[in-house]
Structure 1
């Protein structure tokens, strides 16, 4: 039995190391693949793109809710110097503005509560120098998602019209005033 302790311990250590490596690297690999897939589907960089209504035929892998309208914005602070001005326009029903980093972490979510919401998104190097209400991205790239409850085609069309006032645009220098 003593002859097996070394190989068993080695197998256990290797298994634990493989497990932790997978947990550490998988989210980044998944998000890189998702961002590449979004780029292939012509989801704009630094602008919201409004995809078609969700149906079983339009979802190949993960089926999103058919009751929600989605608007997506990819961002990459490696592609620009400055910040992004993110606007979610007014919507009378449920809506949320969610920010996802390069490791698929949802690091901020803002509810619409029937009003227009504007946030400045700053690059990771701005940690500690942001003003109140500004959001710092923990990674250089990620995805911003607006969801609106729109369970019927009529509400989906209204959400599509409301989305024309959404914005995800390069704003210039970090800490600039978005009302200028």
Structure 2
């Protein structure tokens, strides 16, 4: 039976240590990075400045110098809300009534997108969402008729509404009121 020399054992342990370290760093980055990014989105300076905790906020239109989001689209207007369903349901409503594209997307605290509705799915009807925690706090309250119950996989999350505008200045009177129909409030 061949036994490894001291030099071979040393290289074996070095390679093993390097592989284990690489695997641990990779797993930690894949797990931790989305959570850290979302923590900054949910609790960071921009969230504090726009005061978007369980209420809709309407950032200014994107310009060539906008860089709060990497490569933002100047063809989209954004509306945002940080929701917290730990104390009870949060109701989200919107009635954009636009013939062009719009969407509402919900993101969990780990950045997973767990719900989306857009202009085609809504079919020109108002959106009425009743956000609840996985514990099912919807049963503790009367869900309004016509509301869609959406279960959030985390107690805190992020709502992003996008409204398409090809020429903001020309369409301002149409798209601004449409995006400002978004409400996000605890019940």
TM-score (norm 1): 0.83
The residue aligned with 1:150 is 165
Contact kept in structure 2, 1:97 and 1:112, CA below 8 Å: no
Partner of 1:9: 16
> Who wins on radius of gyration, i.e. which is larger?
2
Moved >3 Å (runs of 4+):
127-133
Aligned to 2:91: 85
| Deviation of the 1:164 alpha carbon | 3.2
Q: Which residue of 1 aligns with 2:114?
A: 107
Instruction: Report the RMSD for the aligned CA atoms in angstroms.
Output: 2.3
Partner of 1:167: 183
Within a 5 Å distance, the mapping from 1:21-170 to structure 2 comes to 21-35=28-42, 36-78=44-86, 81-89=87-95, 90-113=97-120, 114-126=124-136, 133-152=148-167, 153-170=169-186
Structure 1 distance, partners of 2:137, 2:89, is 13
Q: Distance in 1 between matches of 2:85 and 2:148?
A: 19
**SS of corresponding position for 1:57:** coil
Deviations 1:14-38 (A, max 9, x none): 1111110111111000111122133
Structure 2: gaps (5+ residues): 1-6
Contact 1:88 1:112 in 2 (8 A): no
Aligned residues between the structures? 169
